[in-house]
Structure 1
């Protein structure tokens, strides 16, 4: 019985490590895509306007959630590497509550990004401004953040199963 418990523990650690790498990578790429999202559009009178993600509050909120999620993912990734080297369990309660909180933060950031992109594309649709590249990058960043949220939500489930095992 002890052997199957240690095999389950090893497989959950491996899955957690892979999901933490994925969450970090996805949120980092999402950060890069959003931070470089700028477009210069020309209207019918040949007036140019530059739109950046910073011009919209929802994208700023999305950026904040990405930065928080990326920092947390990096912190947990380093902690899991240190735990693997030392052979310790780590701080399971912190991981449990942290994964839950950060997954909700990432989910709201992705929802804000999708929502503002849909609204902006609807508003600018009939104006003749070609902002499709801007919207595609915003959708890509929000989609990557949504995938990072899914990884963090799965980590939350894994850490929920790891807590009772530790107390036995």
Structure 2
């Protein structure tokens, strides 16, 4: 009787694709939230937006970099799951996945940390408002995106280790 269960490679490729899709969703929502965050200053009547703060500009930059990288990796993952072949074959593809996931996850956590830090400072001595609430939510979603990318990094490290051991 033949075993009809999927191979561990198929399961890990599918899990990796799922993690990349979840990262994509969370980064996309985080990008929208920080981009639409605006507030009118009660004292001066000026509009406050994310681009008025270097920290939020850094945060949105990390979101965009992570978003673009993740979009690329999603395409690679879809191709791999559908065809069973890797787009970047050989050791270079495994190394690109491994180091790319590591570097991007560090970018994402630094952007999230920066966003949380500024939001806490802006809320100090003032009640929370829609601007800081959206910025906080965006930083939270960025943190979740980091967690999914870190989990994907674990899968790519196993794939790299397996590739190295089989060579």
| CA–CA separation in structure 2 for the residues paired with 1:153 and 1:105 | 11
| CA–CA separation in structure 2 for the residues paired with 1:149 and 1:103 | 5
The correspondence of residues 146-161 of structure 1 with structure 2, limited to 5 A, is 146-161=143-158
Matched, 1:48 2:50: no
Q: Structure 1 segments of 4 or more deviating over 3 A?
A: none
Aligned residues: 156
User: CA offset at residue 86 of structure 1?
Assistant: 2.6
User: CA offset at residue 93 of structure 1?
Assistant: 1.4
| CA–CA separation in structure 1 for the residues paired with 2:141 and 2:128 | 20
The C-alpha deviation readout for 1:12-59, integer Å capped at 9, x for no partner, is: 11110100000011001100100001011323xxx4121101000000
The unaligned stretches of length 5 or more in structure 2 are none
| CA–CA separation in structure 2 for the residues paired with 1:85 and 1:137 | 37
The correspondence of residues 49-64 of structure 1 with structure 2, limited to 5 A, is 49-64=46-61
User: CA offset at residue 137 of structure 1?
Assistant: 0.2
User: CA offset at residue 165 of structure 1?
Assistant: 1.7
CA-atom RMSD in angstroms: 1.5
User: CA offset at residue 131 of structure 1?
Assistant: 5.4
Is contact 1:27–1:66 with CA below 8 Å preserved after alignment?
Answer: yes
1:106 matched to which residue of 2?
Answer: 108
User: CA offset at residue 164 of structure 1?
Assistant: 2.1
Q: Using a 3 Å threshold, how does the CA distance of structure 1 residues 39 and 131 change in structure 2: closer, same or farther? A: farther
Q: TM-score, normalised by structure 2?
A: 0.88
The correspondence of residues 1-168 of structure 1 with structure 2, limited to 5 A, is 7-43=7-43, 47-89=44-86, 90=88, 91-122=93-124, 125=126, 132-167=129-164, 168=166
| CA–CA separation in structure 2 for the residues paired with 1:7 and 1:78 | 22
The unaligned stretches of length 5 or more in structure 1 are none
Q: Which moves more between the two structures, 8-17 or 63-72? A: 8-17
| CA–CA separation in structure 1 for the residues paired with 2:131 and 2:143 | 18
